[in-house]
Amino acid sequence: MLRVYNTLTGKKEEFCSLVPGKVSMYNCGPTVYDYFHAGNARNFIVFDVIRRYLKHKGYKVTFVQNITDIDDKIINRANKEKVSAESIANKYTDAFFEDLEILGITKPDICPKATEHILDIISLIKRLMDAGFAYQVDGDVFFEVGKFSDYGKLSKRSFDETEQCARVEIDKRKKSPRDFALWKSAKPDEPNWNSPWGKGRPGWHIECSAMSMKYLGETFDIHSGGQDLIFPHHENEIAQSEAATCKPFVKYWLHNGFLNINGEKMSKSLGNFFLVRDILKKFKPQVIRYFMMSAHYRSPLDFSDKSLAESGKALERIENCFDNIRRNIKDLDAPQKNTHIEWINKFEEAMDDDFNTASALGVVFDLITEINSLIAGESKDSAKLKLDVFNLETFCSILGILPSIEDKELDKDLLNLIEERTKARIKKDWQEADRIRVLLEERGVVLKDNPDGTTAWKRIKVI
Ligand code: AMP
Ligand code: ZN
């Protein structure tokens, strides 16, 4: 039974999706004004693994992650570089997808951009105006926090606390310092769109309410983000959405802990960040992923070259085991599922406990010990060993640390063969698919089919 920690209730709860067998999930995505840093990567990797695990549990997952492509930070950067906000947003959106791919993060099912949903945003603001939760001043529209009695329920902040936070920037036109912008009137030379309140652009919070509800419905299962988003971003999303619909917005709120440097949150504003692009010059993508999995997703995690190097060492033990398998086991056909579930139970016990990837890695290492000793013993071809290998691949694939070689390292004709096989599988021509699998295996390429497609890895030494 899967249990997840819900920030809303402050408890670990049994996970029970709104629609049996399906999970609707929204993760707050990047503001595209720069390359992403390791702190952002923690969020993207953690929720990629949670998504994979939910799929492994048999759920059909719809995963939405937005792109904030209009924002003060984007406009400031554009002004600095004397280019349009659009060109900054496009450049870093492309870079974002490139980095996701390098890190082996499965692309979200839907990646809505704020600028492509202006009409949805406007109609949600209109709904809030009609319901009396929003007011207009000089072309700006504000949400009236005092009208939403549940304000503070996610972040557990009292009225006074939320007011104190809001006093940082006082706008005298607001009825209360706690009120926040839904629509911002256009300033000279800023991108803007027509609206019933004049030209302007949307606020950040309303964008996520509008796009999540558009794609996942007015109530959905999981909303996630880093812990820094609990207040005010997610608190405001709840207020806007529930005020508009009178329905609960989200069932489970999941938040990842910070990636720190010397005990401080890694962030752009503090300047203590490392871009994923730069880290990749020294470490493999799987090392970064392993490192992120080495702690529970809600715990703080300290970033340093030393801890990445330690993750690299641990990952080597996993890679060595795969080498050992490739060198010693001839026939790697996947065994029948459900014949031996002892290891699956152990792995799931760890992951069912609020996605405890650190414990799950412990299970992976115990399994590796067993595989290595079975190979060293007399049972190189035993069914048990093959099942263990199958389980090891499955667990590493869920955790995103399966040693795979990048496509570009495969010869073109091998890639063509893989593509041919995919086509055959789509046509349900299993005979042809199997024929190609054998051909590939003869050339040292082992395939693993999973719900997101086929991963390939090449034996280092062909037997
Ligand atoms: P941003 O582009 O700043 O909105 O960040 C994208 C995602 O990364 C959000 O879910 C943030 O909460 C998350 N994030 C930013 N910095 C960190 C950090 N140091 N540790 C963990 N998550 C972070
Ligand atoms: Zn958001």
Domains and CATH numbers, the chain: 3-256 (3.40.50.620), 404-463 (no CATH)
Residue nearest atom 7 in ligand 1 by C-alpha distance: 40
CA distances for 326 relative to 182, 290, 319, 401, angstroms: 57, 22, 10, 17
Q: At what angle do helices 85-102 and 72-81 cross, to 10 degrees?
A: 110
pLDDT at 406: 47
Annotate 13-24 with DSSP letters as a single string.
EE---SBTTEEE
Mutate to test the pocket of ligand 1, among 34, 64, 204, 228 (most ligand atoms within 8 A of CB): 228
397: closest CA among 64, 48, 61? 48
Q: Whose CA is nearest to atom 6 of ligand 1?
A: 30
Residue nearest ligand 1's atom 12 by CA = 226
DSSP character at residue 68: B
Q: Which ligand is nearest to the CA of 263?
A: 1
What is the CB neighbour count within 10 angstroms for residue 307? Answer: 14
Q: Which atom of ligand 1 is nearest to the CA of 28?
A: 10
- Tell me if 225 CB under 6 Å of ligand 1: yes
- Alpha-carbon gap, residue 157 to 151, rounded angstroms: 8
**DSSP code of residue 283:** S
Start-to-end C-alpha separation, the chain: 42
297 dihedral zone (left: phi>0; alpha: psi -120 to 50; beta)? alpha
Distance between CA atoms of 149 and 339, rounded to whole angstroms?
54
CB within 8 Å of 216: residues ≥ 6 apart: 24, 25, 26, 62, 64
Q: What's the gap in Å between 226 CA and the centre of ligand 1?
A: 5
Q: Residue 430's pLDDT is what?
A: 87
Query: What is the position in ligand 1's atom list of the atom closest to the CA of 259?
Result: 20
Sole residue written with tokens 């995103």: 400
Pairing of strands 220-226, 250-256: parallel
Give me the residues paired with residue 458 across strands.
445
CA of 445 to the centre of ligand 2 (A): 41
Please give the Cα distance from 326 to 455 (Å, whole number): 16
What is d(CA 401, CA 54) in angstroms, rounded to the nearest whole number? 17
Handedness of CA 225, 226, 227, 233 (dihedral sign): negative
Q: What is the pLDDT of residue 405?
A: 52
Give the per-residue pLDDT at 323: 86
φ, ψ at 359 (rounded to 5°): -65, -35
Centroid of ligand 1 to alpha carbon of 51 (angstroms): 18
Measuring CA to CA, which residue among 223, 270, 226 is closest to residue 44?
Answer: 226
Is residue 53 in contact with ligand 1, taking CB distance under 6 Å? no
Closest residue by Cα to residue 134 from 125, 126, 143: 143
User: Which atom in ligand 1 lies closest to the alpha carbon of residue 273?
Assistant: 19
Q: How many angstroms separate the CA atoms of 351 and 243, rounded?
A: 35
Residues in the 5 Å CB sphere of ion ligand 2: 28, 208
Distance from residue 351's CA to the centre of ligand 2 (Å): 26
User: 144-165: string of b/e by CB count within 10 Å (b at 16+)?
Assistant: bbebbeebbebbebeeeebeee
Q: Do the strands 134-137 and 200-202 form a parallel or antiparallel pair, or are they unpaired?
A: unpaired
In three-state secondary structure terms, 108 is coil
Question: What are the φ and ψ backbone dihedral angles of 365, each rounded to 5 degrees?
Answer: -70, -35
The closest residue, in CA terms, to atom 4 on ligand 1 is 30
Ligand 1 and 65: CB distance under 6 A? no
pLDDT tens-place values along the chain, 463 residues long: 999 999 999 999 999 999 999 999 999 999 999 999 999 999 999 999 999 999 999 999 999 999 999 999 999 999 999 999 999 999 999 999 999 999 999 999 999 999 999 999 999 999 999 999 999 999 999 999 999 999 999 999 987 777 777 666 678 899 999 999 999 999 998 999 999 999 999 999 999 999 999 999 999 999 999 999 999 999 999 999 999 999 999 999 999 999 999 999 999 999 999 999 999 999 999 999 999 999 999 999 999 999 999 999 999 999 999 988 878 887 666 555 555 689 999 999 999 999 999 999 999 999 999 999 999 987 777 888 988 998 999 999 999 998 865 444 567 778 888 888 988 888 888 889 888 888 887 776 767 666 656 666 654 322 2
Identity (one letter) of the amino acid at 243?
Answer: A
Distance CA 194, CA 198 (A): 6
3-state secondary structure of 77: helix
d(CA 35, CA 281): 15
